[in-house]
Amino acid sequence: MPAKALMFQGTSSHVGKSVLTAAFCRILSRRGVRVAPFKGMNMSNNAWVTREGGEMAMAQAVQARACGIEPSVEMNPVLLKTQSDHTSQVVVLGKPVGTIAAAELRNVKERLNLAIEQGLRALQDSYEFLVIEGAGSPAEVNLQETDLANMRVARAANAEVILVADIERGGVFAQLVGTLDLLDPEDRKRVKGLVINKFRGDPSLLTEGVRWLEEKTGKPVFGVMPFLSDLRIPEEDSLADRLAAPAKKPAGSSLRVQIIRTPTMANFTDFDPLHREPGVEIQYLTSAPDGGLPPHLLILPGSKSTMADLAWLRRAGLEAHIAACLKEGTEVLGVCGGFQMMGKMIYDPSHVESSTDSMPGLGLLPTDTLFLSTKITAQVKGIHLESGAPVSGYEIHAGRLQGARRGKAVFRLQERGGAAVDEMDGCRLEGSTVWGTYLHGLFDEPIFRRWFLDHLRDRYDVPKPPPVRRAETDPYDDLADAVSKHLRVDEMLEEAAWTPSP
């Protein structure tokens, strides 16, 4: 019997669909249900690598962890990784198959839909229940023909739909009423109820509005979720929320971190653990800051289009900012694409990432990068050579590093894709504050992360914050508890013809 399914769709992007999906995954898992997440097509540069080396969206990997199961590419059969305003790399069932312009999506939609249906069927045959996430809004009338992630998936999975809106954006009643009004009648019937998300303040202030909404739409409002500020899980929308927040003036006792936000920045979830550390203030840069104290740590993050982002960085005046920071003794770290930018030259003769054959790098490290058509995707484990601290993470890159031996390696890799290896990763010049690595997720291991931050504090004479004494609870359980407190979970599950058990 195919799995039952409940689907979260949104009035727009960034309304919290990913988080609510993860919450229901954990709620059902705790009830002993064999549950899995699914998102037919995701557009994101935040990717995860499965144990088998397949690429999938980070959001679905997080949701799989909430289920207590191993992430698999069937949970996100199609991943679009933005390379420019008009093009994306297409990853199908874990493997990159080419680059496509947005206008060409309709030409390959049936091929992509076959992969989506294949992934869906595999999960339906293996699990009792699927919690499905939509993408963007189901009511984008100009995109209906190529929308492979919303109502088309709901119909294929026979899923009932919960429509989610973000009240922080304003106009929440217009969002919900307008979205429902633009749906086809049959799809509108599939929407079984509404959720208002990210509310700050006294929920009683919404009582009259909720009553009006239910009368206007004929749909129940299953609850009002408060804004959850400390989820402690990687979030698809976390960067958008942080950038929308007012900038804070760094405290004199804080470790100052700047992250360059390039147009195709990839895997910004690498830095989520730093956001959760006390005494760390993080600022994202899209231009050189006007004055202020220099950072203690400056990060060049991963990139989906390394040379294009490097050219942008120069136009934005950030190359000069990096040089100025180095004069002040700032530690400069490059991760993956950022690591490639820090070398002497980048070569792309086969035009794997761009139409440019080559480009000078920042010249901060004695390395070159050569792009090849085959991409390295693997989970890795190892140790940090200076501290001996364990590290784990994953690699996603088409570039191959040349000349790293002229610097000092940073990590020793001991396992790749489940097999034992003895390889070096990263490059750092002796006596330099500049280094890079291909290792995504390097700050996930708390021993290395805290050693590294304390190492910076010692160097720059920044006081260590007092230890935070709190119970180490499971973040997925905390999320499930919060959602269960504020939403009528059993009623929502009953809409999917599932009989909840305590």
Residues catalogued as catalytic: 336, 440
Query: How far is it, in rounded angstroms, from Cα 277 to Cα 257?
Result: 12
In terms of phi and psi (left: phi > 0; alpha: psi -120 to 50; beta: otherwise), the region of 437 is beta
Query: How far is it, in rounded angstroms, from Cα 5 to Cα 37?
Result: 10
How many residues does this entry show for the chain?
A: 502
Query: How far is it, in rounded angstroms, from Cα 184 to Cα 98?
Result: 33
Q: Please classify residue 137 by burial: count the beta carbons closer than 10 Å to its beta carbon, then call 0-12 exposed, 13-18 middle and 19+ buried.
A: buried
Q: Using alpha carbons only, give the angle 478, 243, 58 rounded to the nearest 5 degrees.
A: 50
Helices (DSSP H) in 271-317: which residue ranges? 272-275, 306-315
Q: Please check whether residue 395 is in contact with residue 377, taking contact to mean a CB–CB distance below 8 angstroms.
A: yes
Q: Is residue 252 helix, strand or coil?
A: coil
Q: Which residues of 325-340 are buried (b: 16+ CB within 10 A; e: fewer)?
A: bbeeebbbbbbbbbbb
Q: Please check whether residue 220 is in contact with residue 491, taking contact to mean a CB–CB distance below 8 angstroms.
A: yes
**DSSP structure class, residue 382:** E
Return all residues near 217 (Cβ < 8 A) that are at least 6 apart. Answer: 176, 177, 180, 194
Strands 368-384 and 411-416, by their bridges, are: antiparallel
CA 390 to the chain's CA centroid: 23
Q: Please check whether residue 160 is in contact with residue 188, taking contact to mean a CB–CB distance below 8 angstroms.
A: no
Query: How far is it, in rounded angstroms, from Cα 85 to Cα 18?
Result: 24
Query: How far is it, in rounded angstroms, from Cα 235 to Cα 17?
Result: 10
Query: How far is it, in rounded angstroms, from Cα 449 to Cα 105?
Result: 41
Strand partners, 290: none
Name the token pair of 289: 């800051």
State the chain's maximal CA–CA distance in angstroms: 70
